[in-house]
Amino acid sequence: MPAAVLEVFAGAPLAAWLALSLLNQVAGGRWRWFARLTASGFIPNWRFFAPRPGTSDFHVLYRDLLISGEMTQWVEAPAAEARPAVAALWNPGKRPNKALFDLCTVLFETGRGLDHTRLMLSTPYLAILNRVNSMPASSLAACRQFVLMATYPDRPQSEAEPLFVSGFHEL
């Protein structure tokens, strides 16, 4: 096969990738098939912190239903690591922080369009449930429930906003 043809084969994916990247900036989220494609993470969305900047902190809380029928207090699942003083060079906590942000965002957004059964089988739901269920539990606990909360630190007067409440799951 001539080198020129091989070069076309190697160059075409670059052109396609660039075209899809451009399309994602101007029409991202408009079509379901395209949203599925961008969910892979390969097609970049370059609209950093815009047009609606992320101004909230997400929190995952859980509580247990005891065998006696009583309910425990809500407990916050530990957040990702705090940012180190040398974060300009070394910031390993940003990946789990971003993962929690991504999962909460997808769960909150898809949660509005799915019935409860399908939602409970979605990856973000299962990932957060798996994390919450790995937290220690009393031997008297029968089921666990979690809630996603958003707080707005720049608005100290505003209350924490519940974004999503799960069902109860057996421990």
Interacting span for another protein (CB under 8 A) from 29-37, 63-71, 139-147, 152-160 = 152-160
DSSP string, 8-77: HHHHHHHHHHHHHHHHHHHHTTSSHHHHHHHTTS-S----TT-SS----EEEEEEEEEETTS-BPPPEEP
Contact 163, 149 (CB under 8 A): yes
- Name residues contacting another protein, limited to 58-117 (CB under 8 A): 79-81, 83, 87-103
Which of 2, 32, 51, 70 forms a contact with another protein (CB under 8 A)?
A: 51
Query: Can you name the residues that pair with 161 across neighbouring β-strands?
Result: 150
Per CB under 8 A, 118 contacts another protein: no
What is residue 130's three-state secondary structure? helix
Q: Tell me: does residue 11 bind another protein (CB under 8 A).
A: yes
In the complex with another protein, the residue whose CB is nearer, 39 or 71, is 39
Q: According to CB under 8 A, which one of 32, 36, 52, 112 is a site residue for another protein? A: 52
Which positions touch another protein (CB under 8 A)? 3-4, 7, 10-11, 14, 17-18, 21-22, 25, 39-42, 44, 46-57, 79-81, 83, 87-103, 123-124, 126-128, 130-131, 133-134, 152-154
